[in-house]
Amino acid sequence: MVKPSLRFYGIFLLVTITFSIIGSKSSDVVIVGPSFQQEDYFIEELNLISKKTGYEITYVALNDVPYYLYNNPDKADLAIITNPSLLHGLSQSEIIVSANDYYFENSSETYSQYLLNLISSDDNSIIYGHWIRLFSNSMIWYNVDRYRELGSPKFDSFDELIEYTKSYSTDKDGLWCLSIDSAENQPLLDYEYGESSGWIVSNWLENVVLSNYGPDVYDKWIKNEIQFSDSEVILSLLDIGKIVHDENSIYKGKEYLIRSQVSSSAVNLLDTESTCVFSLMGHDAHSYMPKNVIYGEDYDFLYFPSADFTGMVVGLGDTLTLLNYDSPTTKVYQELVASSFGEIWANKSNSKFVSARTDFDDSQYSNGFAKKQYKQIQNSLSLDLFRFDGSMLMKNGTGKKILWTSLRKFITQSNDYLEEIAEEIDTRIKRELEEN
């Protein structure tokens, strides 16, 4: 038996560099996946598995996991995939293999049928992996002290939140800290830079659609069975516009919202000189908060409100997939998808690990943020109100190619251009789908 050990390579350059590092596979099990925060905690979990199984494990962080696998299908054993659409492409190319043998009769109770269907074949007969982490993007973040000063208001719908914003915002006291740019290293020259700028707006829209109209409409919209120019999406965009196009509602105004990086919203929310009480960001907001503040004491989050679909969540997640059935591979795989995986990680005081399993022991959480997020997600799954990030599921990558940029355009303009922009999105999506 080989000496148990674990290797970790963080690779952020060209994929060709990776070829030379793992081109000659020396470990018993090679896992490829994205680079992510708290990789060191993941490595701790892998070290335990390595000691338990006796297999040497290498984790390689890549910029583009699917691209690497298409070009090197036999150079890894397991892969972490962050997008179900990309997972389906790999399954159709027979790069990843069925994980059916590692599921049991109560699998739908452990993961929810919705999650299983996302990573299954079209007829749902083959499941291509296991969910290992989930993340919520349905959070209304707030400054605890200012929120209490307002009387700790509760909101039963997004409409109530809009009306409250109108009533309590003034030209010098905007209630919202919002920003949309993601071009971290580019100068503030115009509105056109930043390929990923606009993703946060798509997240807002996904939440409002799911909150207002529920999972059936959401699913049809993602499949392009409901278009952007249809009333459900138009009215959801209008709701967003009622906040972002109202100068009084936004701290520092709309110009600042457009030109400032997403992370600045978290900083402003806790700035003693700012007036904002709320911010609409996903789970990443926790990472952007200043280092000298404490979750639960200085900042917290409300669940995204809904009148008819209370408990809804738009989220993301990671799927672990099998690339072969070698004995070391399958044994390590079973350890990674077990209910106990993540307990060490969850016990860290700053943990951001959120298990995808309903039977995970949440008493392991020592971090209030991670535990609250776990409970939020598990509640939404039990109600069948969890839905995956729509822009990532849209066909042919239209979410990133079209939706992000068009929604950014909507934010820079006004509600007067709403129908025009919606029709433009529909036209661009139709052309993209016809051409590809």
Residue 356 Cα distances to 108, 158, 260, 310, 392, angstroms: 12, 27, 33, 20, 19
Amino acid occupying residue 26: S
Task: State the residue for tokens 């299908």.
Answer: 73
Which pair of structure tokens corresponds to residue 416?
Answer: 């007067």
pLDDT over 70 percentage in the chain:
90
Short-list 260, 125, 117, CA closest to 180: 260
Question: How does strand 299-303 pair with strand 278-281?
Answer: unpaired
| pTM higher than the cut 0.85 | yes
Short-list 277, 320, 309, 295, CA closest to 76: 320
Quick: pLDDT tens for 59-106.
999 999 999 999 999 999 999 999 999 999 999 999 999 999 999 877
**What was the pLDDT predicted at 22?**
53
DSSP states along 331-395: HHHHHHTSTTTTHHHHTSTT-----S-TT--GGG---HHHHHHHHHHHHHHHTT-EEE-HHHHSG
**What was the pLDDT predicted at 183?**
56
Tell me the CB-side half-sphere exposure of residue 211, using CA atoms within 13 A: 27
Alpha-carbon gap, residue 213 to 215, rounded angstroms: 7
Q: Which overall architecture, per CATH, does domain 6-128+314-384 show?
A: 3-Layer(aba) Sandwich (3.40)
**What was the pLDDT predicted at 194?**
43
Task: Assess whether the region 6-128+314-384 and the region 139-312+389-435 belong to the same CATH fold.
Answer: yes
Structure confidence at residue 185 as a pLDDT band (50, 70, 90): very low
Region of 58 (left: φ > 0; alpha: ψ -120 to 50; beta: rest) is beta
Domain-wise residue ranges, the chain = 6-128+314-384, 139-312+389-435
Which pair of structure tokens corresponds to residue 198?
Answer: 């606009």
Q: Give the strands of the sheet with 278-281, arranged side by side.
A: 278-281, 139-143, 299-303
Is residue 27 scored above 90 in pLDDT? no
CATH classification (class only), 139-312+389-435: alpha beta
